[in-house]
Amino acid sequence: MSNRTDPALDALFLPFQSGALHWPKGEVLFLRARYGAALNDPQLSTLVCEQSFKPDAQLLSNAGFKLIQAEQLTSYPLVLILLPRQRDEARALLARAIRHTQPGGRVVACLGNNEGARSSEADLKQLIGSVSNLSKHKCRVFWSAPIDTQVNQPLVNAWSQLDAPRSIADPRFVSRPGLFAWDRIDQASALLAAHLPHTLSGQAADLGAGFGYLSVELLKRCPNITGLDLYEAEARALHLAEQNLRAQALRIPLQFYWHDVTQGLAQRYQVIITNPPFHTQSRADRPDIGKRFIAVAAEALLPGGQLWLVANRHLPYEEILSERFGVIQTVAQQDGFKIIAAIKNSTPERSTRTQHRQRQ
């Protein structure tokens, strides 16, 4: 189980611990659910959890909680939400929560004070009217009055669509609010795509594929790629990647995996590309995540296989690259990013040859 601290999760249950609210009978819906010590209370065994991020979903499943998909939701006497910071996504979640709350039921939401908690509380008030709140752990938990005819139904209907998939600046792609770099082509990924050599060939994988931009570019630039597997922990992004690669799927075998890359891969590849994540929802640097992506890529590559990655220039990936790969080449350093190509040893002996060729 996770030992991480989660102030928003802890604060979410303050109204029940203080007696301001009472836990209802029957199943309780928990949107964007996360596992933590706060869920160890036996009365919370009635939680029905929706979570599209694979590591969090896996923790909830391991702890014995029921997971449910969006299309399986019914109506509930209580809906809990751990809100994201992205405003449109948060508004859409509040609207969805109201739509799945039984008459007389309540919506309870929580968010960090520095992530837009006051604004989200005001949003809930616009939808439902009267709202109460408590604060602790630098978070704000707020809840609706019992759901009744005071609901602003036209606004609920409108906000329900705020995080719907839509075309972005590059019309080849659809994306949606709440994803990484959701409304544009990420600058780092574009830089990596521009440096992919057309000679890459064989079975390939995209680790942390997002909505599929790098995969599309790989197949566009490298005609000798014979198959491609996309790995993405966020199901909302993976579903979009499937849409964005429909044309490519007509000519090359593609597989889409809702998967936490840090847990390793079962397949082997000649080519791996990645723009690995390096922070969590806290936005603090987590270079250990990127290092784990590199280690997993090294394990999954066949001898002589190539890893192509992009990273912020300050991230300390060179040591693990030298430990796991034979030849490491800094292909470019530009706009605060670095492009690194690494080749896995063809023999068991490890070489530490490192080359640096920079393009400004």
Residue 337 lies in domain? 166-356
Which residue spans within the chain are E strands per DSSP? 28-31, 47-50, 66-67, 76-82, 101-112, 131-136, 139-144, 166-167, 174-175, 201-207, 224-232, 254-258, 269-274, 301-312, 327-334, 337-343, 354-356
Q: Are residues 139 and 243 in the same domain?
A: no
Per-residue pLDDT tens for 130-163?
A: 999 999 999 999 999 999 878 999 999 999 999 9
Asked whether residue 2 is domain-assigned, the answer is no
Write the DSSP assignment of 26-55 as a string of letters. S-EEEET---SGGGGSGGGGGEEEE--BHH
271, part of any domain: yes
pLDDT in tens, 188-240: 999 999 999 999 999 999 999 999 999 999 999 999 999 999 999 999 999 99
Among 112, 129, 159, the domain boundary falls at 159
What pLDDT does 1 receive?
Answer: 45
- If one counts the domains in the chain, the total is 2
Domain shared by 119 and 176, yes or no: no
224, 116: one domain: no
In the predicted model, residues of the chain with pLDDT beneath 50 are: 1-2, 349-360
Cα–Cα distance for residue pair 213/3, rounded to 1 Å = 34
Considering the domain architecture, whether residues 322 and 191 belong to the same structural domain is answered as yes
| Token pair in block for residue 184 | 């544009």
Q: Which of 159, 179, 203 is the last residue of a domain?
A: 159
181 is a domain residue:
yes
Asked if residue 1 is part of any domain, the answer here is no
The confidence score (pLDDT) of residue 354 equals 47
In a domain, 276, yes or no: yes
Q: Are residues 202 and 344 in the same domain?
A: yes
> Domain check: are 154 and 188 in the same one?
no
**132 and 195 belong to one structural domain:** no
Asked whether residue 253 is domain-assigned, the answer is yes
pTM of this prediction exceeds 0.75? yes
Note whether residue 191 is domain-resident.
yes
Residues 144, 231: one domain?
A: no
- Do 205 and 139 share a structural domain? no
Q: At which of 137, 159, 181 does a domain end?
A: 159
Query: Smallest Cα–Cα separation from 198: which of 217, 222, 226?
Result: 222
